[in-house]
Amino acid sequence: MYFAALLARTEDGWEASDTELDDVETLSDLTDLAREASVDEDTVLVFIEQEDAWFGVVRVDGEEDPRIFISDATAAARSSYGEILLTDELLGREPGAEDTIAALEELVGLDGTEDGEPDITPDNDDDNDNDDDEIDADAVPAGPLGDTGILADLGLPEAELLTLRTDALVEIADALGAAEVLETVR
């Protein structure tokens, strides 16, 4: 079960609203949704939580790029909402690299042989290379990922953010002084 909410900072404190993510397909869509909730281009936090699995916080400050923290990237990768947050940039990949490689592989045979030549690959059993040691470029790292200082200036230090597990959004809202307003939309 998922929960998603927006917390927008105003002159009077925080305003909370629950939000539907059905029409959100990209981080850009999510950022636009947050900016629409912003008052005078102030800070907006988007909370996304999959019960007992992972949570994510997206922070949008005016027109700046969004900042993202995910409590468990591996768990988030198995979620359609988590995939929205797991951008190429966050994962340290070249944006669009997968699409470019796939397109090139379709256009050109990349097996190293000329057309009509047999594909002869030597079998080097005494090769010391261990394929298990290679890092899969598409792999998602286990554990927390992203900007651990995302909430530090709002009252939640990095070390505390990294220790949160269950009921994390409640604890975050409490640290921000927004527990009551978040509870109204939960």
pLDDT digits (tens, 9 = 90+) for 148-159: 999 999 999 999
pLDDT digits (tens, 9 = 90+) for 125-149: 444 444 443 334 357 888 999 999 9
Q: What is the pLDDT of residue 84?
A: 93
Q: What is the pLDDT of residue 19?
A: 87
Q: For residue 31, name the pLDDT band (cuts at 50, 70, 90).
A: very high
Q: Which of 84-98, 102-116, 130-144 has the lowest mean pLDDT?
A: 102-116
Question: How many angstroms separate the CA atoms of 155 and 176, rounded?
Answer: 6
Average pLDDT over residues 4-24: 91
